[in-house]
Homo-oligomer: A and B are copies of this chain.
Amino acid sequence: MITESQKKDLLSQLKAGCNVVISTHKSPDGDAIGSSTALALYLEQKGCNCKIVVPDPFPKNLQWIPGAEEVLMHTIQSDQINDAIDAADIIFSLDYNDLSRAGEIGSLIANSDATKVLIDHHEDPKGFADIEFHNAKCCSTAQLVFEFIEQLGDKILINVDIAKGLYTGIITDTGSFRYPSVDEKTHEIAQKLIALGLDHTGVHESIYGESSIDQLQLNGFAVSERLEVLPNGKVAIIYLTNEDLKRFNAQKGYTEGLVNKALSISGVTMAAFFREEGSLIKISFRSKGSVYVNNLAKNHFGGGGHKYAAGGSTTNTMSDALDKFKKIVMEYV
């Protein structure tokens, strides 16, 4: 993944007194925060001065991760972030493949003379880094951070606090070891982290253990009152209006995963979730098997995406948007 000369080069730079900035993407998730804190806790043991910088706030259920309390957010600490990037000898880009994914932090990094190191598992990195530790087949950036430390010969420095970040990244990006990207190495890493004394159940509890009653009830309501399966049994639709969302005090992230519930219904091969946001309706499409949703999103709802997961939007009313979808969907399933 990195050449011997890159390894030597990195090891000569990552030493006591070195100023390191670790950056990650907008709307940071478990893998972004977990892999960033793990890398910082490792580099601090080597004597580096580390700052983790993120574009905007991350969810409450990640704030317990060791090191997360020192993360700087551009939305509230932009001066400190400017200073950190000015002073940086090395800047790491974690869990993103394009500087635009890091918002305004991305422009700061583009203008910096620091050595740039990418550690990422998204496809087609945009070539902004001097060193790329990259594998699009890897399940998580956290797994790559483990492998990075391993390749630098420092596996002995991985401790329980680092393990918490790495394990968080792995389980949040794999649906708890479920997705096809999980490989032998993923379980080998989990085995090693547990051997270090990691309380893996505690991590799961911290990430997934608690829900707000509003979120539970909003999702319950959506499934029991706003779910429709079309007569052919292959397409499921869920919609939520501004009024529904207000009734349950919906916060950002409350309806994440809801469209997958619709897709999980026996016989259903395509699901769509229509959600009002002010005067706009945002739509998520999911599919499986030989049914693809990217063209449907592009051709009819000004969006796009991947074969099995795409998004779009419309300024129609909810009932017009649903009618339009029901009409055109038959071409796709």
Contacts and interface: CB of A to CB of B under 8 A. Distances in A.
Contacts of A219: 220, 223
A224 interface: yes
B194 A213 contact: no
A194 B190 contact: no
Interface stretch (A121-129, A261-269, A293-301, A305-313): A261-269
A320 to B, nearest CB: 25
A212 B266 contact: yes
A136 to B, nearest CB: 17
A194 B185 CA distance: 10
Interface residues of A, number: 40
Secondary structure of the A contact surface, majority rule: helix
Interface in A178-214: 178-180, 182-184, 187-188, 190-191, 194-195, 200-201, 204, 209-213
Interface in A104-149: none
A332 interface: no
Contacts of A261: 211, 216
A227 interface: yes
A190 B195 CA distance: 15
Pick the most buried of A219, A220, A225: most chain B CB atoms within 10 A of its CB: A220
Contacts of A236: 213
Contact of A211 (B187, B216, B266): B266
B194 A184 contact: yes
Nearest to A204: B178
A184 B218 CA distance: 38
A213 B216 CA distance: 18
Contact of A227 (B178, B212, B217, B266): B217
6 contacts: A177-B177, A177-B200, A178-B201, A178-B204, A180-B201, A224-B224
